[in-house]
Structure 1
């Protein structure tokens, strides 16, 4: 790995203005932006660490005409609103106390001390905003080159400070890690897995869904099951279906979807899916999709009929989970039935249950025939009204 960070984004005018306002000796790029640049990956978010207090950051950026938002002021974070995208600026910190769920921090002036409180060595890389010089106190560059996800210092201590780091470890292992995984990290995660029960369900759900949304989480999920971690957060899970789903998504050129992957881990029982969705605090739309996916069968399906009845996303879930070809619905928008109850009433049928029955009958035949046009629907209506057999 190089010891100097070089990236096009570092030359952005708005970032240069930001660095000038803070003072180049007062701030460094840190975390994901440094790590992903070194790996040649796209950089989504840019974070900076600074020796300045939040009040000083706000005052100096205000004097430079840069708008700020106090997004995490209690923990030392101020967001600079820039034309090229927001930048989070966090004052150097050290932990005063932690209970595994939240930490009390104090501001610091020592860069190494700030790095020491982070989770993994590959996340504790800092870069000078002008020269690109990389500061690495814990072997993060070597770990990045080896694709090794390793806790800073004692793995058990890092986890005791924040129990969510167990799930973060597996997410980072799935995204950046190689095999074999770091033995100390795995041992610590296994030994302290029960501590995950003390976290909010929403935090656990969010981290789990982030893991499932990665390109191929199946080997990591399988390892979590072997280590006893998966049973703590998702006791309903059976890992056997996930790898098959990932293979189907890849073969059919369909983007990863964490809701669909979660469905692959669950039994085909809508009630169980709804319980898991509630436990993970999933949005209502995702809860509905998960329940619909759980209602799947392995028999043959008419893809477009399924998409019409359930919606395209739910149909795609069921088809892929059952190992069926979904190409028929990938670029297809379900049409609307070109018939209304009012049109049936206009043909002399009294408003009421009979209208609904006829509408359902015509719709069923319309679906079975592959959604023909309005003239054919009119003919189907004639047949239903006349009692003719198809």
Structure 2
């Protein structure tokens, strides 16, 4: 038996009738209503529940002062448990102070209704349908329990599920290459065990360059893509038959170029892939997304007597959906390098003020860094991006 509809003779929503037995000596039907302040809450929301007694079994009235009425509302469906409810001590539903026989007791209001209003609240913990059923109650002059398995369900709430975040991302081993070059593509955040298609893009259209990989148990993959189409402007990866914002990673820029002879006698820098893909962080808890910068090669051909070179980096703030931001200083790195008298910079935050990645002199040096982004708790979900600028001087 569910709650009667409002259209049936004007019955208020959430009103049900059920048999009750009361102590010291009373039995009969109880008519009650369950009301909520939010019929469509989300997980984590607090819902206020109102338990109204419109009619109770006949019984003796209270003698002298008495405690405030109390009761409970049973939760079922997606979330189980009970919600304690109570009336304000010494107050009727209108707020006037009452004591002794003036207050409602089992049967004191008869068919006209007892007018007792009790309230409580609970926090929603699971998505799906949630039912609210009236339970037993205690009034001045008697304690009443539901006679039978349970009372009818008085309210049904629909709890929306948490939003599903697309954490898929890819990184390229290099952002450019000659026609036919093999590009190392790595990805993370995909469905474990899913087939992943890696493909070239020319603007908004796909190219014929494709490779297929399988995501491992952590949702990561690695594959080489042969980029032959000279019109390629980017590389994507996706699950399913075609790329979509829900099941694909954001395109990463790639350019097909003709080889050029390197200039000599100066100070030059090249990087194996400019994009950095950080690991996902679960919603609700603070955590760190880890990654690495693309390896930087510094060639110092200036000759003897040249000043030491310094490689610095600075980072903008991360921007996400609806203007959400994570400060750039939340990203820290641990530099490492080798060759050419290279000395790594100190570990620490990068941010807009910048930090030294490495310094050295003469010959060829390779510079790398492990990076970690500390994400504040309850940061709005979604993909966040920032620009890391490396400057060699």
Rg: which structure is higher?
2
| TM-score higher than 0.5 | no
| Shorter-chain TM-score range | under 0.3
* Greater percentage in strand: 2
TM-score (norm 2): 0.18
* Greater percentage in helix: 1
